[in-house]
Amino acid sequence: MDHKAEPLYSELRKTRMELLERLEDHKSSSLIKPIIKAELLDVEDTLNKIELGLFGKCENSGELIPEELLTMVPTIKSLDDYEKIDRYFRKGIFH
C-alpha cells in the first residue's frame, strides 16, 4: 500500500464501521438504508482499490484522477463522475 494512502485507508475503515452500525441500527429509516448500503459499497470498493494499488485511476480510461478531487471525493470511480459532480458543484463568486 502506498504510504500516502494509509491515512485515507484508515479513515475509510472507520467510515465502513460507522455505515455498518447505521445499517444494523433498527431506528434507521428504511428509506435511508439503500443510500447507506450504496455508500458502504463505494467505501469497500475504494478500500479494495487501495489494497490492490489501483486507487486514483479512472475505471473507464485508466487515467489518473486529479489528487485534489480524490481528496474531496475519495470514492470517485471515474473522470465521468468528476464531470457530473462539476456540473452540480457550486462555485464561489469571489476567487
Number of domains in the chain: 2
Residues 7 and 19 in one domain: yes
Q: What percent of the chain has pLDDT over 70?
A: 89
Chain position carrying cell 441500527: 25
* Residue 90: burial class (beta carbons within 10 Å; 0-12, 13-18, 19+): exposed
If you average pLDDT over residues 21-28, what whole number do you get? 87
Is 26 or 22 the better-scoring residue by pLDDT? 22
Residues 65 and 37 in one domain: no
Residues 62 and 37 in one domain: no
Residues 49 and 88 in one domain: no
Where does the pLDDT of residue 60 fall: very low under 50, low under 70, confident under 90, or very high at 90 and above? very high
pLDDT value, residue 74: 92
Residues 49 and 21 in one domain: yes
Q: What is the pTM of this model?
A: 0.81
pLDDT at 92 over 60: yes
Whether 82 and 72 have beta carbons less than 8 Å apart is answered as no
Quick one: cell of 91?
Answer: 462555485
Domain encompassing residue 43: 1-55
Q: How far apart are CA 85 and CA 8, in angstroms?
A: 21
